[in-house]
Structure 1
Amino acid sequence: MTTDRAIPTEPGILAFHERCEDFYPADAVNAPIQQQRAWYDALCAEFDAPSPEGLARQDEIVGGRIPVRCYRPAAIVTQTRIFYIHGGGFVVGSLQSHDAICAEIAHAAKAELVSVDYRLAPEHVWPAAFDDCFEVLKWLLVDGRPLVIAGDSAGGNLAAGAMLKARAEAIGGIVGQVLIYPGLGGDLVSGSYAEMAEAPGLSTADVAYYRDVLKAPAENAFAHPLKAADLSGLPPAYITSAHFDPMRDDAAHYAQRLIAAGVNVTYRDEPQMIHAWLRARHMSEGARQGFAHLCRGVSDLLGTL
């Protein structure tokens, strides 16, 4: 049973969660995959937002098979691009599910942004999604323009893993990483995984389900970045978590380890937020503030502040 300490008190985020459950029930992971995706698509559409004025989109295909969407805001002040990887437990999500979020980040940061439509589990288990993201990462770096890699939830996992692989292969040009309530391979039995086991929006059992569906090797650091023995030499990071989220400690522990390894890190734990709070940015004051801090963090990594 959910305890009082696992429930936020901010009215806006509570209203957001209630609205989410109208579209995506708490036991959604028990439904067939196609039903989960239909529910998720309807949920995302419910929280859609008007596109920033003057922002242009262009869809492309990378490597003959990987869809990407390129966002170009009306005002651009940097040649550095943002590479955004969406969340969704590796099971749901698409270019469209995070379209408004990507558009608003690009607009706020005054930078081009590219998002990726990677292959989803269970049809495509590890390392399909990871390989797709890494292929797009290398494609973006071909022209020599610097890059900030960002992702939320499962996308934060993929972004962190891609950073580790880029370091292993001595691939340069990545100047920052942005991890938004990422799942990074925590143990599922201690810390926030126990304290927030039944937090609204995402339970520890849900996290276990998504890991089981992905079927990533348990000791692979690209799949579980907290398993990496050494985090030195990685680019500066902006990391944000939700306090009422079983994956909170993944973000906190990764930030602590990066700092210990000499990496410049800004870490924020949003005190009243639940998992997926990005979607609440237009109805929750805490989410609005968190999103503003996120956009400033992205701009700082881009060197545009």
Structure 2
Amino acid sequence: MAADYSKLIDAETWAFIERTNSYYPPDTVDYTVQEQRAIYDRMCREFHSGYPAGVTAGTGPVEDPAGDVQCRVYRRDNPDNAAAVMYLHGGGFILGGLESHDDVCAEICAQTGFDVISVDYRLAPEHKHPAAFNDAMTVFRFLQTRPKPIVLCGDSAGGNLAAAVAHATRGQPNPPIGQVLIYPGLGGNQSEGSYVTHADAPMLTKRDLDFYRAVRTSGGDLSKDYTFAPLRDPDMSGLPPTAIITAECDPLSSDGETYRDRIQEAGGRAWWQEEAGLVHGYLRARHSVAKARDSFTRIVNAVSFLGHKEWPY
């Protein structure tokens, strides 16, 4: 049964949806990728809330024999050196970059005190899978050589990449000490759960997901490729403590629940929070919607807990 969004979504969230749609109309998926990027970038600029006091940022490459990956490093006055955060942005693997989540990363830095390293991974269709994953791994390998342990964090497509890095680095020296995944797409079963109930949700539809998936791939059998879809990994053991936060009104929500269950079944620590009445992309609503503000506090707290190797869940 399809969801009744007139009952699930409150007035504040509807106002956020309408504001988003005024910059990024629901039919944007029908435009060219270049047009989509221009529209998305404009929307992100409109929602940018600036940097909190005491946070500075610098941009430069992480050098690697395979090629350089641009990153932006956020630091706070009087930092907390217990950990650092590697952040991977959302955008369906075709949109976004260092600017799209600039203020989000600055606020995570301000509220945790941790350095935040935002990764400007390559985008499809110019760079098909596994290019984005390879870039994420390049940056993580560099960070493994540094003294601070790493908490992985990402939203949407970035949540997918963060989880893929966590899976790929199990058993290595200096693996991530935690991961915080924000409404991630992890490759769950699209014939059940939220993929059906919320197939036509505001802000993200199953049709959108199908488009992003098709643009990202070059064909071939990806049915067992966990670097493409972490839920396809048959072995969920050895993963770092994991916090997953999803939006109720989002076709991807069931991925969070399934991922939590599978990690727990494998003996790991995982916590899942579904945010009632929220929609995909609600990070941009954290200053205008009370539910999104509360959720962002939970996200920041999860990053802080995992960075201090605490497990309060």
Q: Report the alpha carbon displacement of residue 20 of structure 1 after superposing the two structures with TM.
A: 0.6
Task: Write the distance in 2 (CA, Å) between the matches of 1:286 and 1:141.
Answer: 35
Alignment correspondent of 1:130: 133
Q: Report the alpha carbon displacement of residue 76 of structure 1 after superposing the two structures with TM.
A: 1.2
Of residues 41, 65, 68, the one that matches 1:65 is 68
Q: Which amino acid aligns with 1:291?
A: F
Q: Is the 8 A contact 2:105 2:116 kept in 1?
A: yes
Alignment correspondent of 1:223: 228
**DSSP 3-state at the match of 1:188:** coil
Q: Is the 8 A contact 2:72 2:98 kept in 1?
A: yes
Moved more, 61-70 or 193-202: 61-70
Instruction: Give the CA RMSD over aligned residues.
Output: 1.7
Alignment correspondent of 2:297: 292
1:168-214 Cα deviation digits (max 9, x unpaired): x6243410001100000012221110100000000011111111111
**DSSP 3-state at the match of 1:59:** strand
Q: Which runs of 5+ in 2 are unaligned?
A: none
Task: Write the distance in 2 (CA, Å) between the matches of 1:193 and 1:171.
Answer: 37
Task: Write the distance in 1 (CA, Å) between the matches of 2:89 and 2:2.
Answer: 28
Alignment correspondent of 2:267: 262
Q: Is the 8 A contact 2:85 2:153 kept in 1?
A: yes
Q: Is the 8 A contact 1:244 1:275 kept in 2?
A: yes
Q: Is the 8 A contact 2:23 2:42 kept in 1?
A: yes
Q: Report the alpha carbon displacement of residue 165 of structure 1 after superposing the two structures with TM.
A: 0.7
Residues 173 and 221 (structure 1 numbering): CA distance in 2 closer, same or farther, change over 3 Å?
Answer: closer
Of residues 123, 139, 150, the one that matches 2:142 is 139
Task: Write the distance in 1 (CA, Å) between the matches of 2:309 and 2:81.
Answer: 7
Of residues 238, 241, 247, the one that matches 1:242 is 247
**Aligned-residue identity in percent:** 40
Q: Which amino acid aligns with 1:272?
A: G
Q: Is the 8 A contact 1:105 1:295 kept in 2?
A: yes
Moved more, 253-262 or 209-218: 209-218
Q: Which amino acid aligns with 1:124?
A: H
Alignment correspondent of 2:206: 204
Q: Is the 8 A contact 1:2 1:199 kept in 2?
A: no
Q: Is the 8 A contact 2:81 2:148 kept in 1?
A: no
Q: Report the alpha carbon displacement of residue 272 of structure 1 after superposing the two structures with TM.
A: 1.3
Alignment correspondent of 1:165: 168
Q: Report the alpha carbon displacement of residue 228 of structure 1 after superposing the two structures with TM.
A: 0.8
1:1-46 Cα deviation digits (max 9, x unpaired): 9752586321111111100111111111110011100100011011
Q: Report the alpha carbon displacement of residue 265 of structure 1 after superposing the two structures with TM.
A: 1.9
Q: Report the alpha carbon displacement of residue 62 of structure 1 after superposing the two structures with TM.
A: 1.3
Task: Write the distance in 1 (CA, Å) between the matches of 2:223 and 2:205.
Answer: 20
How many residue pairs align between the two structures? 304
Q: Report the alpha carbon displacement of residue 224 of structure 1 after superposing the two structures with TM.
A: 0.8
**DSSP 3-state at the match of 1:27:** helix
Of residues 79, 99, 102, the one that matches 1:99 is 102
Q: Report the alpha carbon displacement of residue 145 of structure 1 after superposing the two structures with TM.
A: 2.1
1:89-126 Cα deviation digits (max 9, x unpaired): 00000100000000001111111010010100001000
In the TM superposition, 1:24-43 aligns within 5 A as 24-43=24-43
Task: Write the distance in 2 (CA, Å) between the matches of 1:189 and 1:122.
Answer: 26
Residues 26 and 303 (structure 1 numbering): CA distance in 2 closer, same or farther, change over 3 Å?
Answer: same
Give the TM-score normalised by structure 1: 0.96
* 2:81 is the alignment partner of 1:108: no
Task: Write the distance in 2 (CA, Å) between the matches of 1:14 and 1:117.
Answer: 31
**DSSP 3-state at the match of 1:145:** coil
Residues 7 and 187 (structure 1 numbering): CA distance in 2 closer, same or farther, change over 3 Å?
Answer: farther
Alignment correspondent of 1:118: 121
1:63-93 Cα deviation digits (max 9, x unpaired): 2521100000123122410000000000000
**DSSP 3-state at the match of 1:159:** helix
Q: Which runs of 5+ in 1 are unaligned?
A: none
Q: Report the alpha carbon displacement of residue 304 of structure 1 after superposing the two structures with TM.
A: 7.9
Residues 7 and 161 (structure 1 numbering): CA distance in 2 closer, same or farther, change over 3 Å?
Answer: farther
